[in-house]
Structure formats: C-alpha cells, structure tokens
Amino acid sequence: MAAIRSDVFFATIPELNARLKAKEFTAEELARSFADRLAQLGPRYNALALPLNQEAIRAAKEVDKELKRERFRGPLQGVPYGVKDLLSFAGQPTTWGAKPYAGQVFDYNATVIEKLAGVGAVLTGKLAMVELAGGGGYRLPAASLTGPGLNPWDRTRWSGGSSSGSAAAVAAGLVPFAIGSETSGSIVTPASFCGVTALRPTYGLVSRHGAMALSWTLDKLGPFAHTAEDCGLILQVIAGADGKDPGSAGKSFYYTPQYARPMKDLRIGFAPVDYAEWAEPSARPAFEAALGVLKASGAQLVETKFPRFPYGAALSTILAAEQASIFEPLIASGKVNELADPAQIAGLKASLEVPAKDYLKAMRLRRLMQEAIVRIFGEVDALVAPGRAGPASKVDQPLDRSVSPSAAAPKDPGFRAIIQAGNLAGLPALVLPCGFADGLPVALQVVGAPYSENTLLAVGREFQGRTDWHKRRPPGS
C-alpha cells in the first residue's frame, strides 16, 4: 500500500484527482487513509458522528475498477468526503445531532449522496452537528449529541454551528470536502470560525430530499472545501432539479470559470461601518487587508446601503412557525426534553404558540425584502461583509453573551443583518478565509443575486490567487 503523505490531507479536489489518475495511490488507499484519519482524529474535535470505513472502502474499490478501465467520471471520482448527520444514508443511523433521534435509520439515500455517488465520490463518515440544526435557539456550544464542536485551530474555541463537524473536519484535513446545511448562518458561521471555504447556494438549487427539515422555505445544502474552485466543482455535481424536493428550483449549475467576467468589470458593494465599527477590534486589520486585496484585483468597491427591514424578527418568526409544525410530534411526545440545551427545548415549546397571522406577516414582508434586496444587484454585482464580526468564541461561553456589553452599538447597521437577509431572500454566499485575529481564522462572505454562484466563485478564485489564508493549516495537523 502506498504511503499517503500528510500534504494529501489538505490537497484540493483537482490535485487529488490528478494524483489518482497518475496512480500515485489508489482510491482505496486514499479512502482508507482519510477514513482512518477521520475515525482517529474526528473525536478530538467532536466532529465525527458516524465512521463509514467499510462502506468507503467498498465504494473506493469500485472506483479503482473504473479507473483501471479509464472510465473517468469527473474530478470528484475517488475523492473522499463527509456529510452533516442530517442527511440520510440508507441503513445507517441519522441522528440529526439529537438524542431523541439517536436510533433513527432511513432506508434511502439523500439526493446529494446519490449524486455524489454517481460521480464516484467516496463517503467516509457522517459529521457532527448542533442538535436539530439549532432551530429552537440554542444557547450552548454543547447543544449536540456529540458534545460541543471544538475548533481545530484552538480546542478551547467553538467550531461554530450548526454544521460544526463539516467545517472542523475540512479544517483539520479529515475530509477533502463536506456537505453541510444552512437555515440561517449554519454554513457561514462554522466556515468563518474554522477558516475553510464554503458555499451557501441559492435557495432551491440543491435538493434537500433526505435532509432533516427545519424550515422548508429557508433550508439549503452546500459544500465546505479548501478552495472556491473546489466549491464550484462540488456544486456542479450536487445542484439540479429534483422532483422529490418541493422547493427545487429546477435549475442546474455548471461551473464555468473560463467565462468569468474580469474583476475590473465587477462592482462590489460594502459598508465601511462593518469593518471600522461592527468588526471586533482584533479582526479589523484582517478585514481591512482583505478589502485591500479585492481593490488590488481591480474590482470596484462601492459603498452600499442595505434596505432597512426587521430581518431578524421576520426570520425568527418564519423559522419558529415552520419548525413548530415539523417538530410538533417531538414536542407533544415530551421527548423534546431529551435535548441537551434547555434554551433549545424552551424555544421549540414556545414556537408552538406563534400565531398564523405573525407567520404570514413575516412571509409577506419577506416578499418586500426580496424585491428590495434584488434591486441592489442592479447597482452592484456582489456584496462583501465579514463572515462573522470576529473569531470563534470560547467553547464554554454561552452564545448569547455579549463580547463587549459596555460598547455602544454603531447607529449605522451596515450589512449587520446580511446572514438573515441573505437567507430570507434565498441568496448565495461564498465564505473566504481572510486572515487571523487572536490566532484564530476570520473570513469574508461574498453574497450575490440568486443564481450568481459563478460570479461569487470568480471573486473567490481571484482572492485565493492573491492570498494564502485558505492554505493555512491548524497547529498539529
């Protein structure tokens, strides 16, 4: 068996594909190495929900047979990956990160797993998550069946949620890529905290069939990887119409970097207050430098005002009403009390009391928000903002604890609500690691109009061609 060198664990998808084709190692050897590494190191970060070594090796052997016959299925062929444990994989436990569902087993695969299997990608494990993707409003990083997600850059820090394991596993080189989900921040937050590249696709672009529903009108699945290019290659595979997902937009995605517009033709909106005042002081130099990189690339940075709406109130109301309907049986049965976080239990119970008129008011207002936000993209091609205002919080710190309670909030909201607004409007977002604060990663998010993923990925490629933040590895990895 060929020895897998440690640099392979942080290789990009095209690099792994090239090395498989060059027969540096077989798909089986690659799968064994990654699966063993995930099984061995995943628990160190509470990132592993379920190892799938035997299934991975079986799938990789099939890939080797195909490669031997020179039957090539694309760049993901033979590349190992992991999925957030809210995706069903037939015959194996799918816990949704929650004790009441610890023994749950489905008899079918999620559509994204089927699509990835179709191109020869090799599933090596299921990855940890915040229980029920955190819909009840969790207060503790420990709100998970597998314990608090620990950040590979510093295990005293949180990995972010709710796709905790997906981000941590990619950051630590335990999988080359992973699939996570976002309802409101569950891709952007852990990717920012763990320093990995990730893409939240346009609502409806990726089928959610086989994924736990938290909010039918907000849920999205997307990739975590080492580069923007990797995210494009993954999205091309997992996107597409699916009659099994009522929210499917019926659209495909083709990653076409060759047709990307020159950076000098792109207008990118930003709000100076995000960087000068909302960002935590330790993170401001990294964010300012990242804006400088975008300027140096030729992009025109345009000061932009975000339309004012109660985004947080609307999102919380919609999420509460939809999750109440979805989890009503759990709440009614009393099993909701088995969740790890009391705040989440309380939030789920209270969500049953949200009146229909409030839900519909939020959904009607949402339409006005979508229209106003889409109008911005008549002026700019993308928006850029910090992924999160600062680095990961301490793992023993309640999430509702203010970082600087005495500091007065800036009057200008800037793009402060871009996570909620972007999710309400179904917008895609690309997370790009952009430096460090207090020794921990921070990231930018680039947000675009619906179906503008190729533009966002072009910005990401350019940014990553000029920086090496995405190549940095956590200590000891």
Partner 1 sequence: MKLTRRKLALVLTSGVALAQTPSTPPAIPDDLLQEARKRNQANAAALAGEQIPMATEPAFQFKV
Known catalytic residues?
Answer: 84, 162, 186
Question: In the range 21-80, which residues lie near partner 1 by CB under 8 A?
Answer: 43, 46, 49-51, 55
Nearest 10 degrees: Cα torsion 460, 384, 447, 128 = 70
Nearest to 456 by CA among 424, 433, 430: 430
- Tell me the residue type at 420: Q
Nearest to 335 by CA among 119, 176, 53, 131: 131
Nearer to partner 1 by C-beta: 3 or 356? Answer: 356
Ramachandran bin of 332, using left for φ above 0, alpha for ψ from -120 to 50, beta for the remaining angles: alpha
Of the residues 118, 243, 250, 262, which one makes contact with partner 1 according to CB under 8 A: 250
Cα three-residue angle 425-259-418, rounded to 5 degrees: 20
Cα–Cα distance, 228 to 469 (Å, whole number): 12
The window from 17-25, 139-147, 292-300, 412-420 that contacts partner 1 (CB under 8 A) reads 139-147
372 belongs to the binding site for partner 1 (CB under 8 A)? no
- What are the residues facing 137 on neighbouring strands? none
Of the residues 231, 314, 330, 444, which one makes contact with partner 1 according to CB under 8 A: 314
Of the residues 90, 117, 273, 276, which one makes contact with partner 1 according to CB under 8 A: 90
CB of 349 to partner 1, least distance (A): 6
Of the residues 297, 370, 467, 477, which one makes contact with partner 1 according to CB under 8 A: 370
Ordered alpha helix ranges (H), 100-213: 111-118, 164-171, 188-194
The pairing of beta strand 429-437 with beta strand 197-200: antiparallel
The window from 75-83, 247-255, 436-444, 468-476 that contacts partner 1 (CB under 8 A) reads 247-255
Helix (H) or strand (E) holding 325: helix 311-326
Distance in angstroms between the alpha carbons of the first and the last residue of the chain: 22
Nearer to partner 1 by C-beta: 361 or 472? Answer: 361
Question: In the range 316-355, which residues lie near partner 1 by CB under 8 A?
Answer: 316-317, 320, 334, 337-340, 342-343, 345-347, 349-351, 353-355
Taking a C-beta distance cutoff of 8 angstroms, is the pair 167, 196 a contact?
A: yes
CB of 370 to partner 1, least distance (A): 6
Contact positions vs partner 1 (CB under 8 A): 43, 46, 49-51, 55, 89-93, 95, 99, 102-103, 105, 137, 142, 144-148, 203-204, 217, 247, 249-250, 309-310, 312-314, 316-317, 320, 334, 337-340, 342-343, 345-347, 349-351, 353-355, 358, 360-368, 370, 426, 450-451
